[in-house]
Amino acid sequence: MSARRTRIVDLIPAAAEGANVEITGWIRTSRFGKNISFVHVFDGSTPKTIQAILTPALAEAHKGDLGVGAAVRITGTWKASPGGEQAFEVAAHTVKIVGTCDASDYPLQKKRTSMEHLRTIAHLRPRTNTFQAVFRVRHAVSWHIHRFFHERGFLWIHTPIITTSDAEGAGELFEVVATGESGEPFFGRSAFLTVSGQLAVENFAQAFTDVYTFGPTFRAEHSHTTRHAAEFWMIEPEIAFADLDDVLALAEDFVKSVAEGVLTDCADDMAFFDRFIEKGLLDSLRAVLDAPFARVTWHEARALLAEAEAQGKTFEHAVSAPGFELQTEHERWLAEEHFGRPVFVTNYPASQKAFYMRLDDEETDGVATVAATDLLVPRIGELIGGSQREERLDVLDARLAAHGLPAETYWWYRDLRRYGSVPHGGFGLGLERLILWLTGMQNIRDVLPFPRTPGQAEF
């Protein structure tokens, strides 16, 4: 597209002192003075702006149209800027106003606006510094996810969004109905928006060995937390000829590789988050990348928590209570206080996990466990959930029955265990949670382009 325009991110390293350049973009700030007038122009390709110095004549001619938000095309001479943060400067020769911006009612004025208010103008917030950084990072994360898997020979499988199955055997679903539908449903029976592509993608793992999904998933939960949205994107790799150890190795490699990629590609944006959103972010991410993730079984984790409790630590949910399950407070203590780094908890009680997770060969303390794992990460809690899948048909059938699920519904899933069944497993990871962790942003609504939550599907 170089014939069309030069992006600012490409212009900066290429332009030489005295060269004639053309910049296109939108005005971030402008200042008109007696002796000097300038505008700062951004185009989204980088957090850096170009400062265009206007002659008094140019300033006089265009002053009224060069407010915040206006679109411009400026030609001029590239010159070194006399110090300060603004290192990129153009002495303007011509200014063309491409699109004016009515300053009297433009919602993005210089003053700080709240995150809440910006959500009501989600069509304009991508122009602000914070959301410029958020969506550049969101792209970089997504790109490095694909890059990671592609380099390792995984195939991206587009598992269906509309489904008549439900991976968890429960959950609050959205139903899909053709408008004006009456009588026979469009798909012949009730259809829903997917909550996970895992069961579907397992079919492909047993044909291509290494596969993954990366697509939207849905929950019709009436939660109004900072971590839940009705629509979010999920990544679910699935590998065959693999056990739980292989799943853990893949997950650790994945998290580190994607984080490294983003830190490299978005160094300026990450510095922005470190400075304005979460102090110490970069140090905290670097620490994660430099050390191996910890690993502990669920029973070991419970023992550690019990020991802390015995030594005076108070948890809202007592560790010794019958039917104990790990709560957020325990997860945070493990990752943040005890290990001080990401930790895989493995081999959860079977009663706490889904039917498809592989039953461990031996019980622990008389408790049947499954080859499941959650990856707990400081600041964010659970980042990844995964497991080895049950590949033995007789065990799977017993687990389906124990969960009260009808075997007929899972006929094709059971078929995989009849025809060349192999040990296999995978994990699921929410894209937005990964972005929250990487950026220090606090609310899932602020890392989604147009968030969908109860009562909210505008834009």
Q: Is 246 in the site for a second copy (CB under 8 A)?
A: yes
Work out which of 75, 81, 100, 364 binds a second copy, going by CB under 8 A.
100
Restricted to residues 391-430, the positions that interact with a second copy (CB under 8 A) are: 391, 412-413, 415-416, 418-423
Q: Is 268 in the site for a second copy (CB under 8 A)?
A: no
User: How many residues contact a second copy, by CB under 8 A?
Assistant: 113
Q: Decide the pairing of beta strands 20-32 and 37-42.
A: antiparallel
Of 36 and 177, nearer to a second copy (C-beta) is 177
Q: Is 230 in the site for a second copy (CB under 8 A)?
A: yes
The Cα–Cα gap between 203 and 212 comes to: 11
HSE-up of residue 86 (Cα within 13 Å, Cβ side): 17
Q: Is 64 in the site for a second copy (CB under 8 A)?
A: no
Q: Is 389 in the site for a second copy (CB under 8 A)?
A: no
Q: Which of 121, 180, 113, 135 is nearest to 44 (CA)?
A: 135
The Cα–Cα gap between 149 and 136 comes to: 20
Of 233 and 339, nearer to a second copy (C-beta) is 233
Could you tell me which stretch among 41-49, 324-332, 369-377, 379-387 binds a second copy (CB under 8 A)? 41-49
Query: Residue 390 carries which side chain, given as an amino acid letter?
Result: E
206-225 mask for a second copy (x: CB under 8 A)?
xxxxx----xx-x-x-x---
Q: Is 55 in the site for a second copy (CB under 8 A)?
A: no
Residues belonging to the chain: 459
Alpha-carbon distances, residue 7 vs 43, 49, 73, 79, 80 (angstroms): 7, 11, 12, 17, 19
Work out which of 75, 129, 143, 304 binds a second copy, going by CB under 8 A.
143
Paired strand residues for 211: 155, 238
Could you tell me which stretch among 20-28, 33-41, 85-93, 292-300 binds a second copy (CB under 8 A)? 20-28
Of 319 and 375, nearer to a second copy (C-beta) is 375
Of 207 and 318, nearer to a second copy (C-beta) is 207
Contact 250, 239 (CB under 8 A): yes
- In the DSSP assignment, the letter for residue 391 is -
Query: Residue 340 carries which side chain, given as an amino acid letter?
Result: G
Q: Is 139 in the site for a second copy (CB under 8 A)?
A: yes
Task: Put residue 261 in one of left, alpha, beta given phi > 0 → left and psi -120 to 50 → alpha.
Answer: alpha
Q: Is 152 in the site for a second copy (CB under 8 A)?
A: yes
The H or E element containing residue 402 is helix 393-402
